[in-house]
Amino acid sequence: MIDKAYQLTSLLNSDTSDDFKRFLVENKIDMELPTPDEDLFVLSEGMTCVAVGKLRYKADLSHQKAHLETYVLDNTNPIRHKRELIRWLLTEARKKEIAQVSILCPMQDETSQKLFEKMGARLEKNIENQQLYWFDLLQQNSCRYSIKAVIIKDNALLVERCDYGRGAFSKLPGGGQQWGETIKEALVRECKEELGITVIPEGLLFIRDYIAKNHPDALASQRFHQVELMFWCHVADFSMLGKGAAPDGVNQEIDWIPLDQLGKSDFYPKALIPYLQNISPEAQTVYLGDVN
């Protein structure tokens, strides 16, 4: 039985940090030490270290997605140690209210693949010679409102290109409504945080459902349901564009996509593109349905 599990985040700031760094080098563990967006753990039996794992959750600013890295040192019980380490890391992820955790596995490692599936992970896709698995940690069905801004200037659409740890794509700026604020207040706040500009929401153009379980290629938890409200927005001053205090996702980029180029771009949802290319601020609100 594994009788000890050490969270090394605090130890790294103590006198033992040099010993631990030396331990990583001596055991040829290719692992960077944790940042404030990571937690590092060691599993041991008695005084012997048997496995090291890292929980990275910087793929999404809201910590809704994370990634596991595991390094098993004791070859006598590698699968048992990997299973215990993953259980520990998933427990910590739930404490941080992380909804999804990914882990990569070599294609030839069928034993680990069976372990992940037995623990509830689902295979998403192959990446070169590895397979990407996801653990869905949502404990109950989740439905949220997300308020989006349609900002057009010189026949080009303002978009955010974001990467939540599963590939970059472009989308409308905006985000989730918080308790106690109106829909329009939420949109103004989100655009100020993400883009740095002040928007004036005007007409409601589109309503979209996104129910992840209905989309085979869904990148969200199968319990996830988002309702998106998209408003035509006026912007009087673009001078602060790109200076938002809280960009959305990792390495957010801000771009203008010409309307006639949307179909060839990485913009999502694709179902919205025909409407955007024939847009009018005076048009009636369109319900798009459950589309991607």
Domains of the chain by start residue, with CATH: 4-136 (3.40.630.30), 142-290 (3.90.79.10)
pLDDT, tens digit (0-9, with 9 covering 90-100), for 74-88 = 778 889 889 988 988
Residue 7 is predicted with a pLDDT of 46
Q: Is residue 6's pLDDT more than 50?
A: no
Prior bond to 269 cis, omega within 30?
yes
Distance CA 257, CA 267 (A): 9
pLDDT, tens digit (0-9, with 9 covering 90-100), for 195-248 = 999 999 999 999 999 887 888 655 566 677 889 999 999 999 999 998 888 777
Q: Determine the residue type at 219.
A: L
User: pTM for this one?
Assistant: 0.61
Q: Is residue 70's pLDDT more than 90?
A: no
Q: Determine the residue type at 225.
A: H
User: Buried (b) or exposed (e) across 44-82, using 16+ Cβ within 10 A?
Assistant: beeeebbbbbbbbbebbbeebbbbbbbbbbeeeebebbb
Report which of residues 90 and 282 the model is more confident about: 90
The arithmetic mean of pLDDT across residues 38-61, rounded, is 75
Burial degree of 19 (CB within 10 A; 0-12, 13-18, 19+): exposed
Confidence of residue 125 (pLDDT cuts 50, 70, 90): confident
